[in-house]
Amino acid sequence: MMSSITLLRIGLAMTMLCGDLAPASAQGQASYRLDIPAQDMESALKALASATHEQIVFRSDVMRGKRSNALRGSYTPDAAIAALIRGSGLSVSRSPRGIFIVVAVIATAQVAESDPDEAIPPEQDIVVTGTHIVGAPVASPVMRITERQMREAGQRDLGEVIRNIPSNYNGGQNPGARFQAGTTGNTNASGSSALNLRGLGPDATLTLLNGRRLPYDGAAQAVDVSAIPLDAVAEIQVMPDGASALYGSDAVGGVANIILRRDFDGIATLLRFGAATEGGGFLQEYNAVGGKRWGNGGALVALQYDRQNTVRSDQRDYTRYVVGPNTLLDAHEHFSGLVTAHQDVTANLGVSIDALYSWRYSNGAEYSTQDYAATTRFSNENYAISPTVTLRLPGDWTASLSGSYGANDTYRFDDFIDKATGENLGGDSIYENYAYGGELDLEGRLFAIPGGDVRLAFGGGYRFNHLQVHSAATSGTGGGRGNSYGFGELSVPLVSSANAMPLLRQLSLSAALRHEEYDRFGGVTTPKLGLVYAPAPDLNLKFSWGRSFKAPTLRNEYQLFAVVLQPAFYFGGNYPADATVLFTSGGNRNLKPERARTWSTTLDLHPRPLPGLKLSLSYFDIDYTDRVVQPVSNATLSVLDNPAVQEFIDYSPTPAEQAAVIARDANGLGNYLGVPYDPAKVVAIVRNQLVNAARQRIRGVDLVGSYRIPVSTGDVTLSGQASWLRSNQRNTTEAPLITLAGTNFNPPRFRARGGVTGHFGAFTPVLFLNYTGPITDLNVAPPLQRGDMTTLDLSLMWKAPASRGPLKGFEIGLYVTNLTDARPPYLAPFDDTTINYDSTNYSPLGRFVSVSLRKAW
Domain 4-118 sits in CATH at: 3.55.50.30
* Cα–Cα distance measured from residue 709 to residue 779, given in angstroms and rounded to the nearest whole number: 47
Number of other residues whose CB lies within 10 A of the CB of residue 386: 22
Which stretches of the chain score pLDDT less than 50?
Answer: 1-28, 106-126, 635-636
SS3 content of the chain, % helix, strand, coil (to 5): 15, 50, 40
CB 526 within 8 A of CB 245: yes
CA angle, residues 252, 217, 237, in degrees to nearest 5: 45
Instruction: Could you please state the CATH topology (level 3) that the domain comprising 143-552+591-631+690-856 is classified under.
Output: Maltoporin; Chain A (2.40.170)
Residues 6+ apart with CB under 8 A from 634: none
CA-CA distance, 285 to 276, in Å (whole number)? 15
Instruction: Determine which helix (DSSP H) or strand (DSSP E) holds 9, and give its type and residue range.
Output: helix 4-18
pLDDT number for residue 22: 32
Whether 32 contacts 498, CB under 8 Å? yes
> What are the residue boundaries of the structural domains of the chain, listed by start?
4-118, 143-552+591-631+690-856, 565-585+636-687
As a whole number of angstroms, the distance between CA 776 and CA 739 comes to: 10
The Cα–Cα gap between 442 and 397 comes to 7
**Residue 529 bridge partners (DSSP):** 511, 545
- The pLDDT of residue 178 is 66
- Entry field: residues in the chain: 857
pLDDT of residue 763: 94
The span from the CA of 499 to the CA of 25, in Å, is: 25
**DSSP run (H or E) holding 121:** none
Beta-bridge partners for 103: 91
Phi, psi of 230 (to 5 degrees): -65, -35
Tens-digit pLDDT profile for residues 143-192: 999 988 999 999 999 999 999 999 999 876 677 776 555 555 666 666 78
Cis peptide leading into residue 747 (ω within 30°): no
pLDDT of residue 117: 44
Query: Which pLDDT value is given to residue 127?
Result: 59
**Burial tier of 503 (Cβ tally within 10 Å: 0-12, 13-18, 19+):** exposed
pLDDT value at residue 215? 82
Instruction: Report DSSP state, residue 15.
Output: H
**Nearest-angstrom CA–CA distance, 471 and 474:** 5
Integer CA distances (angstroms), 384 to 70, 405, 643, 699, in order: 47, 6, 48, 35
pLDDT digits (tens, 9 = 90+) for 108-150: 333 333 344 443 333 344 457 889 998 788 999 999 999 889 9
> For residue 681, which phi and psi values (nearest 5 degrees)?
-95, 0
Is-same-fold flag (4-118; 143-552+591-631+690-856)?
no
What residues contact residue 217 under an 8 Å CB cut-off, 6+ apart? 173, 189, 190, 192, 194, 223, 224, 380, 382, 408, 410, 431, 433
